[in-house]
Structure 1
Amino acid sequence: MSDQRTVTAAAELLPFLFENWPETKRTRIKQWLKYGSVRVNDHAVTRHDHKLTPGDKITIKVERAPRAGVKPMPAGLSIVYEDAAIIVLNKGAGWLTVATDSGNGRTAYAALTDHVRATDARNRVWIVHRLDRDTSGLIVFAKTEPFKRILQQNWHRFDKTYLAVAEGVIKRDSGTLRCYLNEEFSLRVRSVPPGEDTREAITHFKVLKRAASTTLVELKLETGRRHQIRVHLSDMGHPIVGDKPYGATTDPARRLALHSSELHFIHPATEEKMDFVLPLPDVLAKLV
C-alpha cells in the first residue's frame, strides 16, 4: 500500500492523519505511525506531534504482509523500520544486543537473524551499535557488511538522544558532562584521570521535568563510550533510577530508567535523512 497527501496548512502529524484518512480506523493509523509506515517528505517519522508545514508530502507506505512461515518478533522486540539496507528496532529492556562471553541471555541479534532468514537462509544482519541489556529503545542493524561500515564510519556525526530518569532533583537546567573512562572492567566503567588507557566521554544534557524525588533528563551523545551516560549521571550525584552498580538506591520500575529515544542519521544506501523518535515507555514516564 502507498498513498500520499499534501499539507495545505500548519498542523501536527497525528491529527493530520486522522483528518486525511477518515476511512481508516484510528488504531490502524497509530500503528502506521508506530512502525515507521508514515513518511514526511520521504523521511520515516514516528512522533505523533511532528510539526507539518504547507507543502509537506505525507506518504503512507505499508509493507506487504510477511510471507507464510515468517514468525512475529518475540515479545519485547518490534521492528520500527526495515528496507533492503537497514533494520531499525525497538529493543525492550532485558534484551542483549549480542551475546556476551558467558553466552547467556536473549539477544536482539539472534532474533533479527531468524527474522531475515525466514525468507532466505543466506540472509544475515550486522551490528552497527549496541544498547545495554537494561536500556530500551531505538537501535540500528545493517543488512550488508558495506552498509554496516558506512554507518559506523559516520556514526559520530549522527544525532543520538536518550531519556533518563535520574534520582534526586538536578538543579542545573542544562550543561555538558566530560570525563575520562577506564573501560577495563566488564561490569562497571570508572571515571579516572586521563591516561594512556582512558577514553574521553562527552554528554550534553537538558532537564525536561523535575518531580519530587526524580528528574527527567534528555541526553545527547557526542562520544559513544560504554556506560558513559550511567557514569556521568552517577558522577553528578544523580544516578539513573534502577542503576544499582552506579549508586542508585531505588528501583520502582524494576529496570534501568534509560531509553534510546531518538536517532537521526543518513541512510547508507539512499543518503536520505532518517528520523526516528520513540517516547519514554509508560513504566518510566510514571516515575516523573
Structure 2
Amino acid sequence: MNKRTKRPETGSAKRPSPPAKSYKVQEAAELLPFLISNLKGEGRNSIKSMLARGQISVDGQAQTVYNYALKPGQQVTVSKEKIQAPPRLVGLSIIYEDDHLLVVNKEPGLLSIATEQEKELTAYRQLMDHVKRENPANRVFIVHRLDRDTSGVMMFAKSEAVQQELQNHWTEAVKERSYIALVEGEVKKAEGTISSWLKESKTLKMYSSPYPGDGQHAVTHYKRLQANRHFTLLEVRLETGRKNQIRVHMQDLGHPIVGDKKYRSKSKEIGRLGLHAFVLSFEHPVTREVLRFESPIPRAFLNPFRNGMQAGDD
C-alpha cells in the first residue's frame, strides 16, 4: 500500500531556497557588467539590489562593490538569500588561490600544522575548513612548513598529486626563496655563505655536526641590508631547506636571530622571533607559469634602525 505524504499546512513549513548559481570568470571584468551579462532575465536595478543585500560572492567572499575587479579563474556565486560571511581566518590571510594551490601570509604564533602534542588552531585546519565550504570533499595538503614563530609566505596544495609534484621537484620548481632575519650584533661581512651538516639531538634541537658528511647538508646565503652595533638585518636565501636551518646557521655565525632563545639569543627587542619568509617564487606545477609572492618586511624588524645608524657607524 502506498503511503501518502501529508502536505504541510499553509505557513507551517518553509519552502527550500533555490540553489545558488555559480559562474566562472573567463576574462578580467568588473563585477556589475559581468553579472548583467550572465544573469539573463535580471534587470540592472534588480542586480544592484542583490549586490546591496549581500547575495553575490566572489570566491566565497560576499561582495557589494559594483566595480569590483574580477580576475580570470574566480568564481562568482549568486544566491537567492543573503550569503553568510565565512568565519574570519585567524593569524593568516590568503594572497593567492586557484584550483590547485593556496598561498597564504602567516602571522607569527600560528602553527602550520598540529603535532600529536599540540591540538590547537593551525593554518592547515583553517584552510581545510575554507576549501570544504565550497565542496565537503575538498582538502588541502602541506607542501612546506614555517616554524610557529616565523611569519610570511607559505604554500599549500589542493590535491595529493600537486603536493607530490611540488615536493618531488622542489629544487627545480622553486625559483626564489628568501627570508628576512633580524640578528644580534653587527655582521661585519656584507654577504657570505654558511655550509654545514645538520643533525637533530635527542631533545629535538637541530645543530651543526663537526664532522663532514654527518647529517643533512645545509647551505645558507646571506646579504646584509642594515646594521648598527647592536643588530643586523639580513636577507637570507636558502639553497637547501632543512629544519631550523637559518636559526642554526645564524647561531653558527655568532649572530643568533633576535628572540630565538632556543639558539642562544638574549635579546627580546621586538617581542617575537626575528625571522620572516619574505619571497617565494616557483613554477606552477600545472600551468607551468612562474609565480612570485612577497610578504612585506614586518615593521618591528626595522625599529632597531630608526635612529639612522648603519653598518660601520660609530
Q: How would you bin the TM-score normalised by the shorter chain?
A: 0.7 to 0.9
**Structure 2 counterpart SS, 1:75:** coil
1:95 and 2:105 aligned: no
Alignment gaps of 5+ in structure 1 = 5-58
Alignment of 1:83-232 (within 5 A): 83-157=98-172, 158=174, 159-185=176-202, 187-194=204-211, 198-232=215-249
* Matched position secondary structure for 1:217: strand
Alpha-carbon distance in 2 for matches of 1:195, 1:238? 23
Letter in 1 for 2:145: R
CA-CA distance at 1:184 after TM superposition: 4.1
Find 1:74's aligned residue among 79, 89, 100. Answer: 89
Q: After TM superposition, give the deviation of residue 227 of structure 1 in Å.
A: 0.4
Q: How far did residue 119 of structure 1 move?
A: 1.3
Q: Distance in 1 between matches of 2:223 and 2:128?
A: 37
Structure 2 CA distance, aligned partners of 1:99 and 1:207? 34
Separation (CA, whole Å) in 2 of partners of 1:185 and 1:92: 29
CA distance 1:258–1:203, change in 2 (3 Å): same
How far the C-alpha of 1:3 sits from its partner, in A, is 5.2
Rounded Cα–Cα distance in structure 2 between residues aligned with 1:213 and 1:79:
35
Match of 1:274 in 2: 291
Kindly tell me the number of residue pairs found equivalent between the two proteins. 234
**Matching residue's letter, 2:91:** G
> Offset at 1:124?
0.6
Mapping 1:228-247, distance limit 5 Å: 228-247=245-264
CA distance in 1 between counterparts of 2:203 and 2:152 reads 22
Is 2:297 the partner of 1:287? Answer: no
Residue in 2 that maps onto 1:61? 71
Partners of 1:203 and 1:87 in 2: CA distance: 26
State the partner residue of 1:250: 267
Larger relative contact order (CA 8 Å, sep ≥ 6): 1
CA–CA distance in 1 between the matches of 2:132 and 2:203? 32
SS in 2 for 1:262: strand
* Residue pair 1:183, 1:190 contacting (<8 A) in 2 also: yes
What TM-score do the two structures reach when normalised by structure 1?
Answer: 0.76
> Higher Cα Rg: structure 1 or 2?
2
Separation (CA, whole Å) in 2 of partners of 1:81 and 1:72 = 18
1:68-115 per-residue CA deviation (whole Å, 9 max, x = no partner) reads 345244232100100000000101100111112302432100010011
User: Is the 1:85–1:144 contact (alpha carbons within 8 Å) kept by the matching residues of 2?
Assistant: yes
Instruction: Indicate how the Cα distance of structure 1 residues 236 and 197 shifts in structure 2: closer, same or farther if over 3 A, else same.
Output: closer
The alpha carbon displacement at 1:187 in A equals 4.0
Letter of the 1:261 partner, please give it.
Answer: F
Extract unaligned runs of 5+ from structure 2.
1-24, 31-68, 306-314
| Paired residue secondary structure (2:217) | strand
Query: Is the deviation greater in 95-104 or in 225-234?
Result: 95-104
SS at match of 1:81: strand
Q: Retained in 1: the 8 A contact 2:259–2:272?
A: yes
**Structure 1 70/85 Cα, relative in aligned 2: closer, same or farther at 3 Å?**
farther
Measured at CA, do residues 176 and 197 of structure 1 come closer, stay the same or move farther in structure 2, by a change above 3 Å?
closer
TM-score by length of 2: 0.70
Q: Contact 2:112 / 2:147 at 8 angstroms: preserved in 1?
A: yes
How well do the aligned residues superpose, as a CA RMSD in angstroms? 2.2
Q: CA deviation at 1:211?
A: 2.7
- Could you tell me how far 1:278 is from its partner in structure 2? 1.1
